[in-house]
Amino acid sequence: MSRLLTLIFIISSFCLSANGGVKSVEASVKINGSVAAISETIYFEIPDSVRSVVIKALPFEGSQVFIDSLKLDHELLSYEVLSMNPIILLRVPIGMLSSNKLTFHYRVKVKEKSFFLPLFFSELHSLNSDTDFFAMEIIWSQNENYTIHFPKVPMKVNHEGNEEVASFQLPAAPSLIRMEMTDGKSGFSINQLIDISVGVVFLIIGFVLWIFRKKLAYG
């Protein structure tokens, strides 16, 4: 049944691609301990003939997604939950309403220091590929330390009061953010330490091979 639903929505995405699209996406993440509160706004352009769209998100193992509200402009909007696993699928009625701004408010509770934050995306295609098509900011307390592993792009990091604010723009909207909480005692993340360890191992192997070759050459 889940495969049939997925096939239907893939086919419908091709049918709807010629009937409007997404103009831009904005997202804001505020992290407080093990909970990330996310606000994501999708600006779209859809003709009156399209009465609804399917919005999707990819849940990840080790985290829980709680949808708090869905708004069209500032008006609460009802939606139909088609699936929550293995993919979140929501059918949203928007064509009959005079607005082009859809905002999700949801929370992600994570269990590990290294985690993924899912972002909602639609079955509509992008109407442009400008560098600021997707704009995002991620906020956390200065008492906490995070490394953003994906997307790996140049970011502006500002200090605002007791908070760190990282912001960046992309020409396309990602479906996830990958982050890791560090203890602040070291400038390296777990993944960076693994990379360094691997590099040290290869250096040791190279040194041993060099010594071995030297012994063979000179007896």
Whether 175 contacts 117, CB under 8 Å: no
pLDDT (mean) for 140-161? 94
Beta partners for residue 212, in sequence order: none
For the chain, how many structural domains are there in total?
2
Q: How far is CA 169 from CA 26, 31, 56, 135, 155, in A?
A: 9, 19, 21, 4, 8
Q: How would residue 128 be classed by pLDDT, with cut points 50, 70 and 90? A: confident
Does residue 138 sit in the same domain as residue 195? no
Does residue 203 sit in the same domain as residue 157? no
Does residue 171 sit in the same domain as residue 199? no
Does residue 133 sit in the same domain as residue 174? yes
Rounded Cα gap, residues 63 and 65, in angstroms: 7
Domain boundaries, position 159: 2-185
Beta-carbon contacts of residue 153 (< 8 Å; ≥ 6 apart): 168, 170
Does residue 200 sit in the same domain as residue 170? no
Rounded Cα gap, residues 82 and 120, in angstroms: 14
- Which of 53-57, 141-145, 193-197 is predicted least confidently? 193-197
Nearest to 66 by CA among 113, 109, 103, 102: 109
CATH code of 148's domain: 2.60.40
Per-residue pLDDT at 7 exceeds 70: no
pLDDT single digits (tens) 64-122: 999 999 998 888 999 999 999 899 999 998 765 556 889 999 999 999 999 999 999 98
Does residue 179 sit in the same domain as residue 192? no
Query: How confident is the model at residue 46, as a pLDDT?
Result: 81
Name the amino acid, one letter, at 215.
Answer: K
Whether 153 contacts 174, CB under 8 Å: no
pTM, 2 dp: 0.74
Q: Helix, strand or coil for residue 40? A: strand
Does residue 91 sit in the same domain as residue 62? yes
Does residue 49 sit in the same domain as residue 10? yes
Cβ-based neighbour number of residue 152 at 10 Å: 8
Q: How many CA atoms lie within 13 A of 117 on its CB side?
A: 28
Per-residue pLDDT at 15 exceeds 80: no
Alpha helices (H) in the chain, listed in sequence order: 2-16, 190-218
Does residue 129 sit in the same domain as residue 214? no
Does residue 92 sit in the same domain as residue 72? yes
Does residue 123 sit in the same domain as residue 106? yes
Q: How far is CA 54 from CA 6, 132, 203, in A?
A: 11, 24, 51
| 42 vs 215, more confident | 42
Whether 24 contacts 132, CB under 8 Å: yes
pLDDT single digits (tens) 16-58: 444 578 999 999 999 999 999 999 999 988 877 788 889 999 9
pLDDT averaged over every residue in the chain: 82
Token couple for 198: 């691997």
Q: How would residue 186 be classed by pLDDT, with cut points 50, 70 and 90? A: very low
Whether 50 contacts 19, CB under 8 Å: yes
Does residue 108 sit in the same domain as residue 202? no
Whether 94 contacts 21, CB under 8 Å: no
